[in-house]
Amino acid sequence: MRISLAQINSHIGNFEGNLQKILQYIDLAREQGADLVIFPELCTCGYPPRDFLEFKDFIDQCNLELDQIRKATTGIAVLVGSPVVNPEREGKNLHNAAFFMADQKIVYQHNKTLLPTYDIFDEYRYFEPSHEFKVFEYKGFRIALTVCEDLWNLGNENPLYTVCPMDKMIDQNPDLILNISASPFAYDHAQERIDVIQANVFKYKKPLFYCNTIGAQTDIVFDGGSLVFNDDGSLLDELPYFEECLRSYDVLKVSGDRYEESGMRYEVTGASGFIAEAQPKEKYKLIHDALILGIRDYFGKLGFKSAVLGLSGGVDSALTATLAVNALGKENVTGLMMPSRFSSQGSVDDAVALANNLGISYHIIEIEPMYERFLNQLQPILADKPFNVTEENIQARIRGTLLMATCNKLGHILLNTTNKSEMSVGYGTLYGDLCGGISVLGDVYKTEIYNLVKYINRDKQIIPQNTITKPPSAELRPNQKDSDSLPPYEILDPILYQYIEKRQGPKEIITLGYDETLVKRILRMVNINEFKREQTAPVIRVSSKAFGVGRRMPIVGKYLG
C-alpha cells in the first residue's frame, strides 16, 4: 500500500480555501500513485477553531466540506480530521473525528479519546471523548486510527489519562497505526514528539504514519515534521518543518501471517526511493523559522501585506524588523524612529543603519512637540510632582499613537517588539510600547534575543554591532538603563524560566541557588503585572509556556503578589 502524508496549512473557518487545498493535495497524492493520503487533525476547519465549534452553522460548513472531499475519493482513500456531532443525548455535543473515506464512502470514523485540556488546549470544552476502539480493514491492511493525543499517554512518568487507546486496539491485530495531529511548535518539542510517538512503535511493533499540521493561527505555530516509523521503531522520515509538504511511502507485509501477531513483519520505504534524515533541531534556527511563519501567516490570513514598527536603535526592534523583512519582504516593512529629548543621537543612527541594511523605508518623527503639550495640558494634574513613570509613559504612548496613526492611514499592522523578559516583569508601557497587532518576541527572553541576533548575523552584519553591544535602555529619562530597574538579564531570565516554563514556586527556585529577596521580588513583579499582559497582543508561541491562552492567571490574585 502506498501512503502519502499531506501536511497542509489550513486556515480557521476558511472552508472554501481549505477544501481547494485538500482537493489539490489529493490530486498530488494520486499523481504519486498513492492508495491513501493522510491529512492533519481538524483540517477541514483549521485548528484550533475554538468557540466557532459552538455554532451549528460552523459544523454544518465542516460537514459540507467533508462531503465534497468524500466525493473526491474515487480510486484513492483519504483520511481527514473534522468535527462532528455526537449522536448520543448525553455528553458534549461534538466529537473530534478522523474520517477514513474511499470510493466516495466513509469507510471508518474514529473519534478522539484523549482530549488535551492544558496549556493552549481546550478540547474537553467542546468534545466528548470516545470509548470505542475498533480496528478496521482496508486493502488487506488492518488499521488502528488515532487522533493526536490518543498516542500521548505513553512514555510519561505521570500519564494525564486513565485510558490508553492503542492498548485497547492492539488485541485486534492492526497492521498499521495512523495518526492525524495538530501538534504545536515549541523549540524543544520536536524531539519530545518523536520520543512519544516512537514509544508507541516500540510498544506495539507496527509501522506508524503520523501527519501533523503546519501553519500559524494567530499565536500558535504548528511546525509539521510529520513522521514515518518502521515497525522496529526506526524513524524512516521526518517531514520538513514550517512548510507544506506531501511525501509518499510504500508499506509491505514481508513475512508471517497477519493474524499471528508475533510472526508479522512490515517494510516501509520512501516511494520515490528517498529516505530523509531527521530534521535539524538547532534552537535558534527553529525559533527564527517559527517567528517568520508566525508573522507571515498572521498577515496572510488576515489579508494584510505590510507592517510598521518603531525602531528605537535597540536590539529587540532591530530583530523584529529583520524577521518582518524575512517574512513579508523589505518593500512591506516601514520603520518609525521617534526620538525624544532623552534619546541619544546614537539611537537614531543605529536605527537608520539597520533600516539601510534591511533596505526598508523609514520616517523620523520627533515626539517633543506632543510631549511638551501633554505636560502643559496636564499641569493641573501633574502640578509640581516629581518626574516619574507618568512622564515616561506619556512618551511611550505618544509613540504608540504615531505608530497606530501610520497603520490606520496606510493599512499596515503594527508589530509589537517587546521581549519575554519585559513582558514578564511588566517593563513596558500599556498602550505605549506594548501596542501592536501581534507580539513577535513576547516568547523570547532577552538573553535568547542576543542568540537570535547572532543567528541573523551569522553570514553578514545585518543588525548593527552598536545595537548589540550597547547596554539596553528605554531612554525615557536621562541616562536610563534597564539595569536601573531590573537585575541583569543573565540572572533575571533563568529565574523567569523556572517560574514560567517550569512552574517552580519560590522555594524551589531559591533552592536552585538564587537569592531569596531577588526571587521574591521577581515573582511578585510577574504576578502584579498580569493586568498588562491581559491587554497586550497575542504572542507568537515558541516555548513550552508562552504568555496568552496557554497561561491563564487571575488578575486580582494575591498569591506572591
* Biggest CA-to-CA distance, the chain: 90
Part in contact with a copy of itself (CB under 8 A); list of ranges 9-17, 184-192, 250-258, 453-461 = 9-17
Contact 291, 540 (CB under 8 A): yes
User: What minimum distance in Å lies between the beta carbon of 509 and a copy of itself?
Assistant: 10
Cell 516568547 belongs to 443
41 vs 49: CA distance, rounded Å:
11
* Contacts with 244 (C-beta within 8 Å, 6 or more apart), sequence order: 7, 8, 9, 214, 215, 224
Binding mask 461-500 for a copy of itself (x = CB under 8 A): ----------------------------------------
Q: Which one among 175, 237, 238, 297 touches a copy of itself, defined by CB under 8 A?
A: 297
Pairing of strands 438-439, 36-38: unpaired
Beta bridge partners of 270: 249
- Binding status of residue 221 toward a copy of itself by CB under 8 A: no
How many amino acids of this chain bind a copy of itself (CB under 8 A)? Answer: 102
Cell 489529493 belongs to 26
Comparison of 156 and 234: residue with beta carbon closer to a copy of itself = 156
Comparison of 285 and 363: residue with beta carbon closer to a copy of itself = 363
264 vs 257: CA distance, rounded Å:
6
Length of the chain: 561
Q: Which one among 506, 522, 540, 546 touches a copy of itself, defined by CB under 8 A?
A: 506
Burial class (CB in 10 A: 0-12, 13-18, 19+), 86: middle
Per CB under 8 A, contacts with a copy of itself among 421-450 are 430-431, 435, 437
11 vs 49: CA distance, rounded Å:
9
Q: Is 41 known to be catalytic?
A: yes
Give start and end residues of each alpha helix (H) in 109-175.
Answer: 165-169
- Binding status of residue 92 toward a copy of itself by CB under 8 A: yes
Cell of 458: 551569522
- Binding status of residue 54 toward a copy of itself by CB under 8 A: yes
Q: Is 407 known to be catalytic?
A: no
Q: Is 148 known to be catalytic?
A: yes
- Binding status of residue 58 toward a copy of itself by CB under 8 A: yes
529 vs 90: CA distance, rounded Å:
42
Cell of 415: 508589530
- Binding status of residue 132 toward a copy of itself by CB under 8 A: no
Q: Which of 45, 62, 112, 206 is catalytic?
A: 112
User: What minimum distance in Å lies between the beta carbon of 310 and a copy of itself?
Assistant: 13
Cell 448525553 belongs to 90
Q: Which one among 217, 326, 529, 543 touches a copy of itself, defined by CB under 8 A?
A: 217
Part in contact with a copy of itself (CB under 8 A); list of ranges 65-73, 91-99, 132-140, 263-271 = 91-99
445 phi and psi angles, rounded to 5 deg? -65, 155
Contact 355, 311 (CB under 8 A): yes
User: What minimum distance in Å lies between the beta carbon of 492 and a copy of itself?
Assistant: 19
Q: Which of 148, 164, 211, 407 is catalytic?
A: 148
- Binding status of residue 557 toward a copy of itself by CB under 8 A: yes
Per CB under 8 A, contacts with a copy of itself among 385-414 are 385, 388-390, 393-394, 397-398, 400-402, 404-406, 408-410
User: What minimum distance in Å lies between the beta carbon of 133 and a copy of itself?
Assistant: 17
Part in contact with a copy of itself (CB under 8 A); list of ranges 20-28, 282-290, 314-322, 531-539 = 531-539
- Binding status of residue 546 toward a copy of itself by CB under 8 A: no
307 vs 256: CA distance, rounded Å:
60
Residue 51: DSSP 8-state = G
Q: Which one among 31, 105, 118, 454 touches a copy of itself, defined by CB under 8 A?
A: 118
Which residues are annotated as catalytic?
Answer: 41, 112, 148
